Amino acid sequence: MLPEPMLSTPVSSPDLRPGWTGEPKWDGFRAAVSVDAGRVVLRSRRGTEMGLAFPEVVAGAVQLPDATAMDGELVVRDAAGRLAFERLQNRLARRGAGAGRAAEEWPAHFVAFDLLRLSGTVTTGWPYWRRAALESVFAARRLFAPWALCPSTTDPDTVREWLSWTSVGMEGVVFKRLTDAYTPSVRGWQKYKVRETSEAIVGAVTGSLTDPRTLLLGRYDAEGRLQYVGRTTTLARAAGTTVASLLEAGRHRHPWTGWSFSVGWGSREQLDVTLAEPGLVVEVQRVTSSKRADQSGARSMRISSRSSPAAKRRAPGHRPTSFQPSCL
């Protein structure tokens, strides 16, 4: 039986303190796996059984000792080696032959970062040095795909290097106290997420143009088509008032005419949106995570410009006009 997962709380500093260890936070699905007398359970953080969607992980469990359980992250890589959360997301609905084909085309890996049980011995009460037992499982069993061991370090310089890995799909760093046990459902870990600033074009809003609640953002692709890239969190009142004064109603042949937008990943609920003329460019700060592509995770924003179509297609890099960041 698998315990509830131990959780983390966000922190604003990426500094690794004495008495703590750091581990990369990958752009994937949190998952736990257990093996008991040939029965394999692959469970999501919220308790959903995922074994049918990831048959290669279930099959790979023959490599593990019996009566053993691990906590980790399910990930999928693209051809360039970057983590591809969209591919991972698409695999969730696959079953049977479809799941098998997806496993061959986009195989998943289980990146293990904690040991919950080893050959029948519950290890959650051990301090973080249970990590040594996890490493011994990988070494003694010579584990290979789909299993991977998450790196761990007590070196601050290594953590700083990891924070430059966002191009391959690392979200940030998780910090764990060396003396702490694994406590189910408790937010005893700390999580620092890398934040990125970029420009995007407002193509629609929720609420109204005179009282926008969130902004639906887009960027032009190489063919000049405005592609949806995400949605901000709820606008603060001052930011909403400023944005409303700059919005114009969407005109005939708006690039998103007839489009629908979901509330978030995996949701069938559709947003009620009002199209805006795509002329307002904003600079947004977001958390690095493709899980939030349907809700961009923008935490602060400023008006960049009202641009001509030619200017809107240029590469980001021009300096925004003065507008102080406002919480969204």
- What parts of the chain have a pLDDT lower than 70? 196, 264-267, 285-328
Question: Which DSSP string corresponds to 120-146?
Answer: TEE-TTS-GGGHHHHHHHHHHHT--TT
Question: Which DSSP string corresponds to 272-311?
Answer: -EEEB-TTEEEEEEEES-GGGTTS--EEEEEEEEE--HHH
Give exposure, 309-321, as e/b (b: 16+ Cβ within 10 Å): eeebeeeeeeeee
**315-319, long-range: CB < 8 A, 24+ apart:** 316/198, 316/199
pLDDT of res. 12: 92
- And the tokens for 221? 């692709």
Whether residue 312 lies in the annotated active site? no
- And the tokens for 182? 């694994």
pLDDT of res. 194: 86
pLDDT of res. 265: 55
Query: One of 25, 193, 291, 312 is an active-site residue; which one?
Result: 25
Span 125-178, pLDDT tens digits: 999 999 999 999 999 999 999 999 999 999 999 999 998 887 777 889 999 999
pLDDT of res. 80: 80
pLDDT of res. 272: 94
- Burial of residue 12 (CB within 10 Å: 0-12, 13-18, 19+) is exposed
Span 241-258, pLDDT tens digits: 989 999 999 988 899 999
In angstroms, the CA 90 to CA 256 distance is 23
81: left (phi over 0), alpha (psi -120 to 50) or beta: left
Which of 273, 214, 280, 271 has the alpha carbon at shortest distance from 245?
280
- And the tokens for 254? 């708006």
